[in-house]
Amino acid sequence: MSSPNATLDFVPPPSAQYAQDVPMPGSEAHASVQDYSNLQSLDDFMRENPFAPKEKRVPAWAVPVNPEYSIKFNDLCVKHFIVPAFEYDMPHQQCETVSVQFGDRKVDATGPFASKKHAKEEVCKLAWPQLLEMDEHLQNKRKRPEPPQSYSGGIDSELLAAENFIGLLQGECVVHNAADYKVLKLIRFEEYTQANRQGSPIYEDSRTITTPIRFSCTVRIEDIPGTPLGSSTDFYQSKQEAKRAAAREAVLWLRSQGKMHPAPPSVNKRLKLDQPFAMELSPKSTGLTQLVSNADLNPGAKTTSAARLHELAAVLGFRPPIYESHPSVPPRGKTMNAHEMNSAFIDMYVRFSDQDVQKDSRLAGPLGKVEHVHGRKTAKEQCCREAVRILEEIQRERAQES
């Protein structure tokens, strides 16, 4: 055991020894080891940095802005379906920079600007010349001739509106009272639909994939389910007109087969004056024979060649002719006026379907081809003349044979 008078030698840890060597901040020992040679006096500091009160912030006054270019810029963008995108940089109350993106172009404007309205007006003013350049380019692009497209004219609207062809197939038709043309009767067509227990006709329509959008239609009936009636190459401005044309061909076919009542008396004003009473039909007459008897085939009648061509085609049992047209150029050496310079020249001809060509070979090939004709209506009228002459010849031969 150790002696009671013995003492223990206590050795502090190294960290405590290091703390004893570092003077405490604010103590005299700490101040003695600092270097105050570069210390600036308070008087010198106040002399170099005098007191300046803060300026009172004055709110910016509203700057009147005339939105002339903003309105013009927006209207021209709407015309060409361009959506402009504006971006504003406003770190403070005022707008520093603004940019607008329209199409593939971008314009920047640097401020400061008093407001966003002011910034928009300035950037629209800078972008206006570039937008005018785009407008001129787009207008010239629209004036370029389009690639040749072939759309047949189809049947004239007057012939489509002569009867309610769709209603005839569905089981209803509108006929005129023989005593008074102004009185209309709505009757059920039970002889064909109800009595024969026929199903509803099936319509199939299609449309073009490019503008202008046009529609065609065919119809199937139970009498000939494997053969669609109508045409998939005759295009019309609306689905209703295309459907009416298909129903018209089906009605004409059924009448030619003796399966449907003949057509009602024509409501043409000229026929009203010439034939004030309804014609009595023989039991063996069909819709096509009645059309032949009622149609005015006088060459001197005031009717267009196109309408006459469609009328003859319906009378003779042919499909509606197809018009092939292509853009053309003026003939060489032709002096044109201002109206002709702003219009189109057309090459056009008429052709019939392969089924009609098999019936009569004189309908083969392009008929009535015209070139360098000013205006589509004039070209259509000229090219129909030869086709009308051929159909009139066929009509006369059939009349002699009968």
pLDDT digits (tens, 9 = 90+) for 288-329: 444 444 444 444 445 788 888 888 888 888 888 888 888 877
Q: What is the pLDDT of residues 345-360, one digit of tens each?
A: 788 888 888 888 888 8
Q: Decide: 244 and 170 in contact? Cβ < 8 Å.
A: no
Mean pLDDT of 229-240: 85
In order of 298, 349, 359, the CA distances from 380 in angstroms are 20, 8, 24
Q: What pLDDT does 172 receive?
A: 38
Residues of the chain with CATH 3.30.160.20: 68-142, 149-268, 295-402
Task: Specify the higher pLDDT residue, 28 or 321.
Answer: 321
pLDDT at 9 over 50: yes
Quickly state the pLDDT bin for 62 (edges 50, 70, 90). low
CATH of 149-268, one of 3.30.160.20, 3.40.50.1580, 3.40.120.10, 3.40.50.1000: 3.30.160.20
Least confident range of 84-98, 162-176, 298-312: 162-176
pLDDT at 90 over 50: yes
Assigned CATH class of 295-402: alpha beta
Residue 19, classed as helix, strand or coil, is helix
Considering only CA atoms, which of 300, 319, 325, 305 is closest in space to residue 387? Answer: 305
pLDDT at 133 over 70: yes
Q: What is the pLDDT of residues 254-278, one digit of tens each?
A: 877 777 766 655 544 444 444 443 3
Which of the 8 DSSP states describes residue 266? P
Which of the 8 DSSP states describes residue 38? T
Q: What pLDDT does 128 receive?
A: 92
Considering only CA atoms, which of 259, 255, 317, 308 is closest in space to residue 286? Answer: 255
Considering only CA atoms, which of 307, 330, 328 is closest in space to residue 381? Answer: 307
Q: What is the pLDDT of residues 105-124, one digit of tens each?
A: 889 988 788 888 888 899 99
Above pLDDT 70, what percent of the chain?
A: 63
Q: What pLDDT does 323 receive?
A: 85
According to DSSP, the residues that pair with 324 across neighbouring strands are: 349
pTM value is 0.30
pLDDT at 15 over 80: no
Quickly state the pLDDT bin for 281 (edges 50, 70, 90). very low
Q: What pLDDT does 161 receive?
A: 72
pLDDT at 234 over 50: yes
Give CA–CA dist 188/92, Å, rounded. 80
The dotted CATH code for 68-142 is: 3.30.160.20
Q: Is 296 exposed, middle or buried (0-12, 13-18, 19+ CB in 10 A)?
A: middle
Q: What pLDDT does 340 receive?
A: 56
Q: What is the pLDDT of residues 172-229, one digit of tens each?
A: 333 333 333 333 333 333 345 444 556 678 888 888 877 678 888 998 888 777 788 8
Mean pLDDT of 380-389: 88
pLDDT at 33 over 60: yes
